[in-house]
Amino acid sequence: MKPATKDFWRRFLRNPGALIGLLILAAVVLMAIFAPLIHPQDPWRMVQRPFLPPFAVDGFWFGTDTLGRDIGAGLVYGAQVSLLVGIVSTVVALTIGVTLGALAGYYGGLVDDALMRFTEFFQTIPNFALAIVLVAILQPSTESVIVAIGIVSWPPVARLVRGEFLSLRSREFVQAARVVGQSNLQIIFGQVLPNTLSPIIVMASLMVATAILLESSLSFLGLGDPNTMSWGYMIGAARTVIRQAWWMSVFPGVAILLTVLALNLVGEGLNDALNPRLARKGR
Amino acid sequence: MQKLGFILKRLLKAVAVLFAIVVLNFFLIRAAPGDPAQVMAGEAGAADAKFIEQLREQFGLDKPLHEQLAIYVGDIVTLDLGWSYRQNEPVSKLVFERLPATLLLTGTAFVISIALGLLFGAIAARRVGTLTDTAVTSFALIFYATPLFWVALMAILLFSVVLGWLPAYGMETVGAHLTGLAYAADVAEHLVLPALTLGLFFMAVYARLTRSSMLEVADMDFVKTARAKGVAPGRITRVHVLRNAVLPVITLAGIQAGQLVGGAVLTETVFAWPGIGRLMYDALFQRDYNLLLGIFFVSSAMVLLFNLITDVVYTFIDPRIELK
C-alpha cells in the first residue's frame, strides 16, 4: 500500500463511528448481493398466513404482511432497490453537477453567471415536490425515480465543484498545462478535476444516503416502481394497518434508518480522513 | 434606502424564478405521455370528449407552442391555475382553502426546529466532549438519518395507539363543533404530533450546525478578549458566541424552506392533516395533474416568499451584510 493510502485507512479506522458505519454498510451490501440465496422465493409470494407476528414461526422472524408475504424477504430484496437507486441516482447527479460546476468555475464570467442562475433556480424549488411531480409525469418506474432524484440533487455538487475550480484555475500547474498547449477539456478533466476528488467523494457518500431517503419517501407515497419490493413501499402498505401489525412498518423503517445512518457515518469518516486539516474539533 | 433597493432586487429575482417555474410546469404537462389536453383532464376526464375539446379550445392547443405558453402564463398571472376535473372545482380554490392548515403546520414545525435546534446545539457546544454533547450529537445523527414518514408512523404508534395521549389523525375532533378557545385547544392538540415530527428532522440539522458554528466562533479572537476581560461565561455564550453563530443557521433555514414543504407532504399524508401536502397526495392518487402542478406552483411560491423573509431578517441581524 502506498503511504498515503495507509495513512488514509489509519485515520479512517481510528474513527469508531466510521468503522461501525462501514460494518453496517457492508452487511447491507452483502444482503443485497446474496438476496436470492438468503430468500430464494419471490418477495411478492404469499408464503404463510397473513398478519403473522414476528418470531411466532421459525424461519419467519420478521412476520408476514396483510397478504401473508414474508417481511424478511421484503427486507432483503428492498436492500437491492435502495442501494441501486441510491448509487445510480447519485451518479446521475454527479454527472450533471460536476459538468456544470466545472464549466462555471473554469470559464468564469458570463458562463459562470448563467450556470449559477440555473443552479440557484433548481436549488430554490422545493426538491421533494419537484421529484414527486417528475415521477408522476414520467410514470412511476425505477428509471423515473432515478432520473427524478438525480435532477433534484445535483445543485450542491455544482456549487462545490465550481468553488474548487475557481480556487484552482489560477494555480501554477494549470498555467503550466496551458503553456504546454493542453486544451481546455484536457485541463478540466486531466488537471483540475483530479484535484477536487476528495470533497466530491465525501459529498457523494452523503448524497447516496439522501437519495435512499428520497427513494423511500417516493415509494412510500406509491411512486415507486410497481414491480419492485422496496422498504418505502412496505411502510406505505403497512400504514393503514399500523394498529394491528406494528412489525410491518417497524422493520423496514429500521432498515432504512441503519443504512442511511451507516452512509452518513462513513461520509463523515471519509471527510475526516481525506481532509485531516479540516477535521472537525471536539470529536 | 439601500435596504429597500436590496429587498426590491430580491423581489424581482423571486418573480423571475416564479416565471421559470411556470414555464417548467408548461413543459412538464407536455412531457407526460399522451395528449396535453388528456393529461390536464386526468384519467377520469380523459373519457369526456366534450371536456377535452373545451380544454383544447381554452389552452389553444392547436396553436403554435409560443402562443400556448402565452395563454398559459396569462392564466397563471391572473391566478387561474386551471380546473380540477376530479374534484370539479378550480385548482386555485382547492389550494387556497388548504393553504392555512399547511402554513400552521410548517410554521409551528419551523419555530420548534429552530428553537430546539439552537438550544440543543448551544448546550452541546458548551459541554464539548461530555456525555451531554455525545447524547445530543448522537440523537441529531439518528434523526437526520430517519425517514420522516416513518417517524410520523412511529409517533402515532407510540403516542396514540400504545399510550393514547394524543389524537393520531386530522386537524380537529370530527363532529365536536367546538368554537372559540375550545376549538383552538382542540386544533393545538391535533397539531402536536405532526408539528413535532416535521420539526424533529430539521431540529437535528440545526442542532448540528449550531454546535459546529459555535465551536468555530468560540475560537475567535474577540471571544478570547471577552474572556480575558472577565465577562461571565454565560454572557459570552449568549451575546458573543451565539449571536454570531446563529447567522449560518438562518442562511440554512432559508435554504431548508423547500425541504419543509416537501416534508409537509409526507407528514400531512400520514397524519391526514388537511393541508396542501395531503392534497398533493390525493392529486397523485387520482392522477390529477392539473391539481398536482398547481400545488407545485403554489408551494414553490411559498418557498420563495420564505426565502425573501429570511433574506430580509438576515439584513437586520447582520448589519455587515453587503447589500448588493
Q: Please tell me the total count of domains within chain A.
A: 1
β B89-90/B83-84 pair status? antiparallel
Q: Which domain holds residue A190?
A: 2-279
Which grid coordinates belong to A206?
452523503
Q: What's the distance, Cα to Cα, between the start and end of chain A in Å?
A: 28
The model's pTM is 0.88
Using an 8 Å Cβ cutoff, are B201 and B263 in contact?
yes
CA–CA min distance A190, chain B (Å): 34
What share of chain B in percent tops pLDDT 90? Answer: 15
Of the candidates A221, A235, A261, the beta carbon closest to that of B141 is on A261
Burial A134-148 (b: 16+ CB within 10 A, else e): bbbbbebbbebbbbb
pLDDT digits (tens, 9 = 90+) for A148-186: 999 999 999 999 999 999 888 888 898 899 888 888 888
**B239 DSSP 8-state letter:** I
Surface of B (117-156) touching A: CB under 8 A: 128-129, 133, 141-142, 144-150, 153-154, 156
Using an 8 Å Cβ cutoff, are B149 and B270 in contact?
yes
E strands in chain B: 83-84, 89-90
DSSP sequence for B150-214: HHHHHHIIIIIIIS--S--SSSS-TT----HHHHHHHHHHHHHHHHHHHHHHHHHHHHHHHHHHH
Q: Could A221 and B265 be called an inter-chain contact, meaning their C-beta atoms sit closer than 8 Å? A: yes
List Cβ neighbours of A96 (8 Å cut-off, separation of 6 or more). Answer: A150, A151, A154, A157, A158
Residues of B in contact with A139 (CB under 8 A): 33
3-state secondary structure of A209: helix
Surface of B (85-124) touching A: CB under 8 A: none
Distance CA B284, CA A238 (A): 19
Q: Could B150 and A264 be called an inter-chain contact, meaning their C-beta atoms sit closer than 8 Å? A: no
CATH assignment at residue A90: 1.10.3720.10
Of the candidates A126, A134, A217, the beta carbon closest to that of B303 is on A126
Question: What ipTM was predicted for this assembly?
Answer: 0.87
Of the candidates A121, A138, A223, the beta carbon closest to that of B20 is on A121
Distance CA A85, CA B243 (A): 41
Residues of A in contact with B32 (CB under 8 A): 137-138
Q: Could B258 and A126 be called an inter-chain contact, meaning their C-beta atoms sit closer than 8 Å? A: yes
Distance CA A181, CA B72 (A): 51
Distance CA B183, CA B192 (A): 15
**What mean pLDDT do residues B168-185 have?**
78
Of the candidates A132, A134, A281, the beta carbon closest to that of B265 is on A132
Domains, chain B, with CATH or none:
1-91 (no CATH), 92-317 (1.10.3720.10)
List Cβ neighbours of B38 (8 Å cut-off, separation of 6 or more). Answer: B45, B46, B52
pLDDT digits (tens, 9 = 90+) for A122-151: 988 888 999 999 999 888 999 999 999 999
Per-residue pLDDT tens digits of chain A, which is 283 residues long: 677 788 888 888 888 889 999 999 999 999 999 988 888 888 888 777 787 788 877 777 888 887 878 888 889 999 999 999 999 999 999 999 999 999 999 998 899 999 999 998 898 888 899 999 999 988 899 999 999 999 999 999 999 999 999 888 888 898 899 888 888 888 998 889 988 888 899 899 999 999 999 999 999 998 988 888 899 999 998 888 888 888 888 999 999 999 999 999 999 889 888 876 554 443 3
